[in-house]
Amino acid sequence: MTDNSALLQVKSDRREPFSVMRSNAELWATYSGLDFILSQSNDFVARKIVEKPLMTHQAVGAFGITLEMSDLIATSVPTVRFVNPVWTEAGVKVNIELTDLEAKAYLNVSSPEAFGQLSVKAAGLFEGSFNIAVVDKHIKVGVSSLVAPDLHLQPTLDVSCVNPGFWSSVPCAIISHLSGHVPSWLVDTILYFTQSHVEEILEQVIDEKLDADLHALPSRLQVVSSDHANVQFAFRPLGMFQSDDLKAASYQVLAEEVPRAEEAFPVPGLILQNHSTSTMFAMAFSRSVPNSLFAILHDSGTLTHTFYPEDVPDSSPLGLDTFSLELAFYCPWLATIYALECPLWSPCPVSATIQTSGRPFVELSHGVNLSIPLSVDFRLLIDNSSESTFLWRVNTTASGILQPSMTHNGPCDQLLKARLTELHATWFDVTKSMDDSWVATALSINLFLPMLLNGPLLDKINAHFDEGIRLKPIHFGGSQYALSNSFVEASSGRIVLSSDVWLPEKCPS
């Protein structure tokens, strides 16, 4: 998709009701990612099932005998597994296996006095369909249907009279007959309450726990906080899409100032692709995401920095003083005009303020292609003077190709790195200085600085990039997850980041 295909001017939240937002980012999960998400719920669901009684206190009467049952309490944590998940148009369909559920209840008959115990073993299969949608700018998950086509019980009842006698022989015989022979009506009652209890727990986990975790995902991320600007990325989910083997959420992600500015920013759409990836999760951004950040940073004056002589390393071939500039840029008028203040044996310091003269621009094709309009102001710093003197300004457009990469040092130990493969600059335009030597100055700069750019400066930048950024564990839903098998690629108009996710203690070796 090119910039000319249906560009849309998108503003902040103060947009008109009829305006349409266009996606420039995606977040998707593959089946391996879905398996991981569901597996994290196994133990949680199992523990939730045993927190409350499977069946509350019941009392039934027959043949003049009233049998009271205490709450049916689980005696062990069952095994729960989510199996065979399938992406659907509405969300996901999955089977929930329940095994090894054991519970017991105490039995009591007041007249004739009798006591006993009901033991139950339960196992079965639940079929669940869950909706995944974007509602009110948040991704929401809800239960569409939940049925139990195969749930069976193995109840065992043991009850007996305390003091059997002649007058209680008939009711005690009835009570004794119950031992080992659980009536069908009691089995159906237990089955109904057990199924209802498990279904209620599953709905609570989806509607309350998982949905609450998704709702708690940050919608804004602070990226810059300085005296010049406070900038954040705003994440606005737009919808859900499905490809062959993944489920994707489309987003609009733009940088915005705090408080937000009213300026519109063009957002070309991002077409959902069938990404062939073996990782669990991935995200993709179009160039409008970094370009929106660069636009704000340039407009706010954040992208500016002044270098002083003490900032230049001793090994640098170019110093920031009048003598170095005279040699490097052929500026004889410096020595003439400032002969008294800046003699050859005691040159005056010079500052260099580098700043963006226009909005930097990112293009994504075989790497991150950067284009940065720059200007550098040189000013004379004379001792015992509170003011500086403007010497000249250099204007150029720097460009380079940045290749991101991922270094894997060990299980869940990764570094995001980059390498600047090229660094170029257009003709260095020099403002007219105090005499006509500015022509020679311009020629000198255009001969000298390109060598500096693709030599020491390029090496210095790559040395900094080579240190890398360590991928730290992420927090979600009260748990911490480590990233593994991560991959980064910039091509085809997008930046793609993909990764597996593990609990830190279970990182693959």
Which 8-state DSSP code applies to residue 167? T
| Residue after which a domain boundary falls, among 215, 240, 256 | 215
- Region 179-196: mean pLDDT is 84
The answer to whether residue 260 scores a pLDDT higher than 70 is: no
* CB-CB neighbours of 435 under 10 Å: 15
pLDDT number for residue 123: 95
The stretch 241-248 carries a mean pLDDT of: 78
Higher pLDDT, 164 or 144: 144
Asked whether residue 17 is assigned to any structural domain, the reply reads no
Tell me which of 215, 232, 249 is where a domain ends. 215
- Read off φ and ψ for residue 184, nearest 5 degrees: -60, -35
Residue 251 falls inside a structural domain? no
58 & 161 share domain: yes
Tell me how far CA of residue 455 lies from CA of 216, 422, 451, 461, 470, in angstroms: 48, 11, 6, 10, 27
Residue 165: which pLDDT band, with cuts at 50, 70 and 90? low
- Report how far residue 125's alpha carbon sits from residue 192's, in angstroms, rounded to the nearest whole number: 14
- Domain check: are 288 and 365 in the same one? yes
Q: What is the mean pLDDT of residues 300-308?
A: 87
Average pLDDT value for residue range 156-181: 72
**CA 211/CA 132 separation, integer angstroms:** 10
Residue 338: HSE in the Cβ half-sphere, 13 Å Cα cutoff: 25
Least confident of 160-169, 329-338, 417-426: 160-169
Confidence label for 273 from pLDDT (cuts 50, 70 and 90): low
pLDDT for position 263: 61
Q: Is residue 294 part of a domain?
A: yes
Confidence at residue 195, expressed as pLDDT on a 0 to 100 scale: 92
- Whether residues 149 and 279 fall in one domain: no
CA distances (Å), origin 8, targets 27, 249, 253, 281, 473: 21, 20, 14, 28, 36
pLDDT number for residue 168? 63
Give the pTM: 0.76
Q: Are residues 113 and 175 in the same domain?
A: yes
Average pLDDT over residues 442-470: 77
Q: Contact 129/93 with Cβ under 8 angstroms?
A: yes
Range of the domain at 99: 52-215
For residue 15, what pLDDT is reported?
38
Residue 374's DSSP bridge partners are 356, 396
- Look at residue 1 and tell me whether its pLDDT is greater than 50: no
Asked whether residue 492 is assigned to any structural domain, the reply reads: yes
Q: What is the pLDDT of residues 352-410, one digit of tens each?
A: 888 999 999 999 888 899 999 999 888 998 776 667 888 888 888 989 999 999 999 88
Q: Are the beta carbons of 248 and 240 closer than 8 angstroms? A: yes
| Cα 4 from Cα 120, distance rounded (Å) | 68
pLDDT of residue 371: 93
Alpha helices in 220-341 (DSSP H): 288-299, 322-329, 332-337
Is the torsion defined by CA of 275, 278, 279, 281 positive or negative?
positive
Whether residues 309 and 415 share a domain: the answer is yes
Cβ contact 362:383 at 8 Å:
no
Phi-psi region of 171 (alpha: psi -120 to 50; beta: other; left: phi over 0): alpha
Q: Which of 195, 215, 235 is the last residue of a domain?
A: 215
Residue 311: which CATH number? 3.15.20.10
The reported pLDDT for the residue numbered 101 is 95
Shared-domain flag, residues 191 and 291? no
Calculate ∠ Cα 104-60-167, nearest 5°. Answer: 105
Pair 138, 215: CB distance under 8 Å = yes
Report the pLDDT value the prediction gives residue 264, as an integer from 0 to 100.
Answer: 66
Arithmetic mean of pLDDT, 103-127: 88
> 365 Cβ partners below 8 Å, 6+ apart?
491, 492, 493
Residues 153 and 290 in one domain: no
> What number of other Cβ atoms are within 10 A of residue 402's Cβ?
18
Least confident of 210-224, 311-325, 427-441: 427-441
The number of folded domains in the chain is 2
Q: Which of 176-180, 229-233, 418-422, 428-432 has the lowest mean pLDDT?
A: 176-180
Asked if 379 and 385 touch (Cβ cutoff 8 Å), the reply is no
Residue pair 417/462 in contact by the 8 Å Cβ criterion: no
In a domain, 228, yes or no: no
CB-based contact 456:450 (threshold 8 Å)? no
In a domain, 45, yes or no: no
How much is the average pLDDT of 262-272?
64
Q: Is the Cβ–Cβ distance between 231 and 293 less than 8 Å?
A: yes
Is 398 strand, coil or helix? strand
User: How far is Cα 117 from Cα 88, in angstroms, rounded to an integer?
Assistant: 45
Asked whether the predicted pLDDT for residue 121 surpasses 70, the reply is yes
Q: 191 with 318, same domain?
A: no
Q: Is the pLDDT of residue 285 over 80?
A: yes
Average pLDDT over residues 92-97: 94
Q: Please tell me the chain's helix, strand, coil percentages from 3-state DSSP, rounded to the nearest 5.
A: 25, 45, 30
Residue 318 sits in the same domain as residue 198: no
If DSSP codes are grouped into helix, strand and coil, which group holds residue 19?
coil
Model confidence band, residue 128 (pLDDT cutoffs 50, 70, 90): very high
Helix (H) or strand (E) holding 213: helix 211-215
Q: Is residue 396 part of a domain?
A: yes
Instruction: Tell me phi and psi for residue 455, to 5 degrees.
Output: -115, -105
d(CA 227, CA 346): 36
pLDDT of 102 > 90? The answer is yes
13-66 pLDDT per residue, tens? 333 333 457 888 988 888 999 999 888 889 989 999 999 999 999 887 666 677
Same domain, 180 and 73: yes
Is pLDDT of 482 > 80? yes
pLDDT > 60? residue 142: yes
Alpha helices (H) along 151-183:
169-178
Share of the chain above pLDDT 70, in %: 85
Q: Which token pair is 240?
A: 């859900």
3-state secondary structure of 49: helix
What is residue 272's predicted lDDT score, i.e. its pLDDT?
54
- Within-domain flag for 322: yes
Residue 397 sits at φ, ψ, to 5 deg, of: -125, 115
**Which residues, at least 6 apart from 194, have a Cβ–Cβ distance to it below 8 Å?**
54, 55, 72, 101, 120, 122, 151, 153
Judgement on whether residues 160 and 279 belong to the same structural domain of the protein: no
| pLDDT top residue among 442 and 70 | 70
Alpha helices in 389-467 (DSSP H): 438-452, 458-465
pLDDT of the residue at 11: 33
CA distance 220 to 296: 16
Q: Are residues 306 and 181 in the same domain?
A: no
Using DSSP's 3-state secondary structure scheme, residue 390 falls into strand
Mean residue pLDDT across the chain? 82
Residue 76 has pLDDT above 50, yes or no: yes
At 187, which CATH number?
A: 3.15.10.10
